[in-house]
Amino acid sequence: NAGVTQTPKFQVLKTGQSMTLQCAQDMNHEYMSWYRQDPGMGLRLIHYSVGAGITDQGEVPNGYNVSRSTTEDFPLRLLSAAPSQTSVYFCASSYSSGLAGSQGGANVLTFGAGSRLTVL
Amino acid sequence: DAKTTQPNSMESNEEEPVHLPCNHSTISGTDYIHWYRQLPSQGPEYVIHGLTSNVNNRMASLAIAEDRKSSTLILHRATLRDAAVYYCILPTSGTYKYIFGTGTRLKVLA
């Protein structure tokens, strides 16, 4: 059971380049999300998805696109990378039995190991 | 949205208990309280969660105040491996958002 797998682990981009960070989970989790963590800071939610075909914005969505065509995969796309997007990116997943504040709030997150992105 | 307040940092001696506090005065009646920790250079990992009653698992205990406006994560015997940033979060009611703050950095002294 691999859990949440993120690729690549490290990536260096030039300003204006595009790339996709991959996230895959093999736990049949409906809920998946992306966070970024800047040096010495906490995690900030970028986008999340509660199932195939359903995505929504988090705290810091600008500059990032997501889609969810399968339950297993939730890629994060940077269309035109900027130095401000230099960060460590974490993908997380969980079962989704409902909204937080109801039974859904009991679902716990499983995180990937992270992808370190540097934009020059 | 219910928010949490944690001390920026704490220190503990090895093999002593550690009590990590979290204030969440705007918590609603159905909000769960989650704790995660992040070891150096790793992704966050789940520690424990609860709703109203105190909870125990192999990693830690969670003590929830009777009015639920605060909670405490208890590590019964800190080890050097427990040095990490500990996050207390409340999944945002009515959404699917798990918003993390800056957490408490725990330093364990040998």
Query: Which residues of A fall within a CB distance of 8 Å from B34?
Result: 108-109
Q: Which secondary-structure segment (H or E) carries A92?
A: strand A87-94
Picking from A60, A68, A108, A116 by the largest number of B CB atoms within 10 A of its own CB, the best residue to mutate is: A108
B65-79 mean pLDDT:
95
Secondary structure (3-state) at A15: coil
Write the DSSP symbol of residue A84: G
A93-106 mean pLDDT:
63
**Closest CB to B96 among A31, A42, A108:** A31
Span B32-47, pLDDT tens digits:
899 999 999 999 999 9
Query: Which residues of B fall within a CB distance of 8 Å from A31?
Result: 96
Write the DSSP symbol of residue A79: S
Q: What is the pLDDT of residue A101?
A: 47
* Banded pLDDT at B2 (limits 50, 70, 90): low
Of B105, B84, B81, B85, give the one whose Cα is nearest residue B14.
B81
**Closest CB to A100 among B42, B87, B92:** B92
